[in-house]
Structure 1
Amino acid sequence: MRYASEHKAATRRRIIEAAGRRFKRDGLDGSGIATLMKDAGLTNGAFYAHFESKDDLIANAVTDQLDKLRAGINAQVGDRAGLDRFVRSYLSPAHRDNLEDGCPSAALLDEIGRCANPARDAYTTGLSAIVDDIAALLAPHDPASARVKVLSVFAMMAGTLQLSRALSDRQLADELLERGVRDVLAIVDAEH
């Protein structure tokens, strides 16, 4: 019996990870259950053993993607220099050009806003944790005072990345990312 529960958990994890990559690449509506299950190396029939609905999978994938983003940020951002590196990495051509492994916000934000409450709640919880971690770095004695500023900066970063992805003029897209780095770091440096 123990093997079955471990196997089921591993299978569920595989579905969530495959779905997270596929959702970021093709969008939430552009990814049907058959495709998601094929990506995970499973049949359609296995889906409902793990999730109540596609909305349930979306909420779980959003949670997983934001948990991974948070872990990556926390591993990189231990101090102000780490924050600078993170901003430069986030607003880079490499991140822009890699939807599948990139930030779920930049890839899915507009769609998450139209999702059912479980996905939006998962997004709110995950992003709030990221924002709170960065706010604690910027204002260790009063993180709440930096929370809205960090949220605004994150929105600027995600929007800049989205716009850069949408531009067909590669030079303009690269210039936008460079300008975004300067603007974000200037806001971070400004007193709140």
Structure 2
Amino acid sequence: MARYSPEHKEATRRRMIETAGRRFKSDGIDGSGIATLVADAGLTNGAFYGHFSSKDDLIASVVAQQLEDQVAVVNSLPPGLESVEGFLRWYLSPDHRADLAGGCPSAALLDEIGRCDVAVREAYTDGAAAMIQAIVRHLDGGDAQRTEERAIGLFSLLVGSLQAARAVTDPELSDRILAAAYSNAMTLATAPLTSARPTDQDTE
């Protein structure tokens, strides 16, 4: 029996995670059986269980890797508002709306992740927190709490808006959702940190 190197095993595992990620995002987690997932990666059921203990184990690995890859993209952007604007334009674009398999894991899978087991939800929690911190690094401001609140707001606005734009059947409404989301996201990204908090004089 042939013995594979650790590098080969890791490459096979990575291929399984990548192909499963695309399948989950296009067909849904519940709509993707193990037979389809292993076929996408060119493996057998036996090979699958050599890398993952269960489908839930694969889901957790996919969620973690998908978000890690997304965080890496945001972290690789030059710091500053120009990068934020470019990212928002891409995220809220018709091309991204149409690309379920290659797009944002949160927008494609969030409703199903909420019903998954705790290991999958923990993987998502860690990835979402890392994504929020990646956004934080691109927002100006000396108030750490307010900057993080803005990043959380942007993250939530982007994901929810893309989900809504994909869900409606009216193309014009879908386009308007994306356009309005971009406008609101830019307002949030550029809002003065001091505007949302009352001063001592305001409360007297």
In the superposition, the TM-score normalised over structure 2's length comes to: 0.89
Query: For residues 134-173 of structure 1, what are the structure 2 equivalents within 5 Å?
Result: 134-139=135-140, 141-173=142-174
**2:65 paired with 1:80:** no
Amino acid at match of 1:67: E
SS of the equivalent of 1:137 reads coil
**2:189 paired with 1:188:** yes
SS of the equivalent of 1:138 reads coil
Query: For residues 1-192 of structure 1, what are the structure 2 equivalents within 5 Å?
Result: 3-139=4-140, 141-192=142-193
Query: Structure 1 residues 2, 132: CA separation in 2 closer, same or farther (over 3 Å shift)?
Result: farther
Task: Determine if contact 1:77/1:86 at 8 Å carries over to the other structure.
Answer: no
Q: Which runs of 5+ in 1 are unaligned?
A: none
State the identity %: 49
| Deviation for aligned residue 1:73 | 1.6
Query: Structure 1 residues 33, 145: CA separation in 2 closer, same or farther (over 3 Å shift)?
Result: same
Task: Determine if contact 1:161/1:177 at 8 Å carries over to the other structure.
Answer: yes
Give the Cα–Cα distance (whole angstroms) in 1 for the partners of residues 150 and 112 of structure 2. 24
SS of the equivalent of 2:7 reads helix
Give the Cα–Cα distance (whole angstroms) in 1 for the partners of residues 153 and 37 of structure 2. 33
When you count helix as a share of all residues, which structure comes out higher?
1
Q: RMSD between aligned alpha carbons?
A: 1.7
| Deviation for aligned residue 1:139 | 4.2
| Deviation for aligned residue 1:89 | 0.6
Task: Determine if contact 1:105/1:158 at 8 Å carries over to the other structure.
Answer: yes
CA distances 1:151-181 after superposition (whole Å, capped 9, x unpaired): 1221111111011001111121111101110
| Deviation for aligned residue 1:2 | 8.8
Q: Which runs of 5+ in 2 are unaligned?
A: 194-204
Please name the residue that 2:202 is paired with.
none
Amino acid at match of 1:71: A
Give the Cα–Cα distance (whole angstroms) in 2 for the partners of residues 185 and 2 of structure 1. 54
Give the Cα–Cα distance (whole angstroms) in 2 for the partners of residues 115 and 191 of structure 1. 38
SS of the equivalent of 2:32 reads coil
Task: Determine if contact 2:67/2:127 at 8 Å carries over to the other structure.
Answer: yes
CA distances 1:70-118 after superposition (whole Å, capped 9, x unpaired): 1112223521101011011100100000000000000001111111111
Amino acid at match of 2:20: A
Q: Highest Rg: 1 or 2?
A: 2
Q: How many equivalent residue pairs?
A: 192
Give the Cα–Cα distance (whole angstroms) in 1 for the partners of residues 187 and 130 of structure 2. 23
